[in-house]
Amino acid sequence: MDDVKIGEILLPGDEDTQDRQERQVRARFWPTLKRAVRQVPFSRDLVAAYYCAIDPQTPTGVRGVLLAALAYFVLPVDFVPDFFALVGFSDDLAVLAAAFRMIQGHITDRHYEAADRSLADNPDMGAGVRSR
């Protein structure tokens, strides 16, 4: 997946776009993560990014980038369909990794603490957890 395409996916969008993406992410994040946890080597970071994206204190541009990346992760239509084992989430992971680099430092300890609590409450999702 090339940098130009990733850059297009990660455009923060306007307020309506962010609202739509947030609704999609809130509705589909946990089921998608549960399905993908074995292919996601950074589940803890991903869950912390989710909490950062829905945090009203997160700057709008950062929220927009994270919501765009998370929406790409949760939506069933993307460049490599997610139902292909092992490679299906590779494009999602590339988009998420690029988003993490773009917003580095905005995912706070508070977001990681929320992620840790959520992962502890869902032990079947702990398989893909990696420390930051």
Predicted TM-score of the model (pTM): 0.83
| Pick from 29, 17, 94: nearest CA to 61 | 17
| Length of the chain as a residue count | 132
Cα radius of gyration (the chain) = 13
Do the Cβ atoms of 91 and 2 come closer than 8 Å?
Answer: no
- In this predicted structure, what is the pLDDT of residue 109? 97
Question: What confidence tens digit (pLDDT) does each residue in 13-48 have?
Answer: 899 999 999 999 999 999 999 888 887 888 999 999
pLDDT reading at 76 higher than 80: no
Higher pLDDT, 100 or 125: 100
| Pick from 32, 27, 56, 48: nearest CA to 103 | 48
